[in-house]
Amino acid sequence: MTGHRITLLGSQDRELRTWLCGDPKGHERGAIVLFRRLARPVKGLQASDRFLAIEIIKMSGEWVLESSPSHLCINMRMLPEIYLRCETENLVLGFVHNHPIKRQPEFSSADDDNERNILHGLSGCNGERSLLLAMVLEESSWHARLRQGVEPDKLLPIRHISVVGERMKLHGITIPDESQETWKRQEAAFGKPFNSMLRSLRVAVVGVGGTGSPAATLLARAGIGELILIDADFLEGSNMNRVRGYRGIDIGNNKATSLKEFIESLGLNAAVSAVDSKLDESGEAVDALSSADVVFGCTDDQAGRDLMNQALYYYAQLYLDVGLTGFVDVDQDGYPYLRDHRGRISCIMPESGACLRCQEVVSEERLKYEQAIKDNPELAKLDPDKLKKEYYLIGGEEQAPGVGPFTSATADYAVAALMDLIRPYRDISSDLRRDNIWVDFIHMTIHSNEPTNNPQCIYCRKSLLLLKSEGRYRLEIPKLGKVPDV
């Protein structure tokens, strides 16, 4: 799977479309879009940079020398200030315009000239390694290509343009003439482009145990092109009742590495990377995470969830967090039974859906409890009341017994949610929230929880982290190490 990827937020997509298609005479319009480049290597996967749109500068007034429904002539003297910003702020220059009149191919010879001229000035100021992204909007679809100053006539491939709004829309996908036999039934259900869209995605699965291993294997079987498996733990015999893709000989081995081998053995042509590190302790794992279009959070630790909850805003990702909760009681004969057991699928987008903190999945109290147990494992043996009274720790009340049908079913619901975000098919009732779905396995019902009303939330209400620069350290967290140089 080759080619770089572009990500626009839903609000950016709407702003660009409104501007480009809004000329009263139906003329071409243009805009400068500044992008942040995420170019972090992932072992086992081909290089594929992500370009995140950061700022839109509309070309009007002095920017435009001449325009018509079939051409746009821009004032190159306006660009040096933009070149300087790209150099000082480490941004990539994007030139975006529309074609009111459909063309074949999408980019014209005039577009070639404009791009070469812009890149000539850019590389003259900022060096031959400078990049120029070009995007054109034609008949409501985006098309894109990439050039570099060192070889200005060479076009570098763009795998897709992703618009992450309330759903995920993928543009610029290459659709093969012949469909593979494995996915023909899926094509019959969702249409031919659907399989190509899944094939274009890079998906990270963090935690490949009871929910992560079924999610990862199903994602591979669904046709996801690239998978990143992140897990530092080793497979134990007690895991075998609920995991998928592992064999007895894998016990004692790293989960991510073993599951990678299994998925590769399926012959589905999915490229798989295994990262055997803890997400909240490893710069390598965070770099791999940042490269993904979609993240499945299948870990049972608060620190990992909190980091993914933060990362989705920095990296403009679709995030599906999966978890289970429950309560085991004892019946009149002294046997344990499930009084409560539910699976949760939290679907969060950078501009849509309540964050994990507002969904009360992650909290400072739970983070404090988890860290205390890590520092002193003996505390895990105490009952919740004693922890609260003597150690001021709140946690340990919930139980989520690892039973295969429940963990796997929750993972399956999460993969189905991703499919709905790519190709909408669900008609859910008004009392359900798309960002928070609970499956009650005891009463066989589905419901949603309302998030807390916190207007001060820096994640999903004030959006203080949305597309924020990491600065010197990954996610602005020193222990994760310095951001790699591009």
Same domain, 249 and 106: no
Question: Quick one: which of 214, 213, 208, 186 has its CA closest to 199?
Answer: 186
Same domain, 86 and 123: yes
CATH number, domain with residue 418: 3.40.50.720
**Dist CA 98 CA 42 (whole Å):** 34
- Backbone conformation region of residue 476, classed left if phi is above 0, alpha if psi is from -120 to 50, else beta: left
Residue 61 domain flag: yes
pTM: 0.94
Residue 238 domain flag: yes
Residue 8 domain flag: yes
Same domain, 164 and 224: no
Residue 273 domain flag: yes
Residue 52 domain flag: yes
| Residue showing tokens 């054109």 | 136
The 10 Å Cβ neighbour count of residue 151 is 10
Same domain, 162 and 304: no
Same domain, 191 and 165: no
Q: Is the peptide bond before 105 cis (omega within 30 degrees of 0)?
A: yes
Beta-strand pair 271-275/294-297: unpaired
Same domain, 189 and 107: no
Same domain, 152 and 215: no
Question: What b-and-e string marks burial along 401-437, b requiring 16 or more CB atoms within 10 Å of the CB?
Answer: ebbeebbbbbbbbbbebbbbbbbeeeeeeeeebbbbb
**Dist CA 113 CA 207 (whole Å):** 48
The 10 Å Cβ neighbour count of residue 136 is 22
pLDDT, one tens digit for every residue, the chain (486 residues): 789 999 999 999 999 999 999 999 999 999 999 999 999 999 999 999 999 999 999 999 999 999 999 999 999 999 999 999 999 999 999 999 999 988 877 898 889 999 999 999 999 999 999 999 999 999 999 999 999 999 999 999 999 999 999 999 999 998 887 888 999 999 999 998 999 999 999 999 999 999 999 999 999 999 999 999 999 999 999 999 999 999 999 999 999 999 999 999 999 999 999 999 999 999 999 999 999 999 999 998 999 999 999 999 999 999 999 999 888 888 888 888 788 889 999 999 999 999 999 999 999 988 887 787 777 776 555 556 544 444 343 455 556 677 889 999 999 999 999 999 999 999 989 999 999 999 999 999 999 999 999 999 999 999 999 999 999 999 999 999 999 987
Range of the domain at 440: 184-480
Same domain, 69 and 190: no
Domain end among 128, 144, 171: 171
> Is the distance from CB of 344 to CB of 437 less than 8 angstroms?
yes
CATH number, domain with residue 42: 3.40.140.10
**Dist CA 343 CA 323 (whole Å):** 6
Same domain, 231 and 341: yes
Same domain, 317 and 393: yes
Domain end among 171, 204, 221: 171
Residue 177 domain flag: no
Number of domains in the chain: 2
Same domain, 201 and 158: no
Same domain, 314 and 438: yes
3-state DSSP: the chain helix, strand, coil percent, rounded to 5? 35, 25, 40
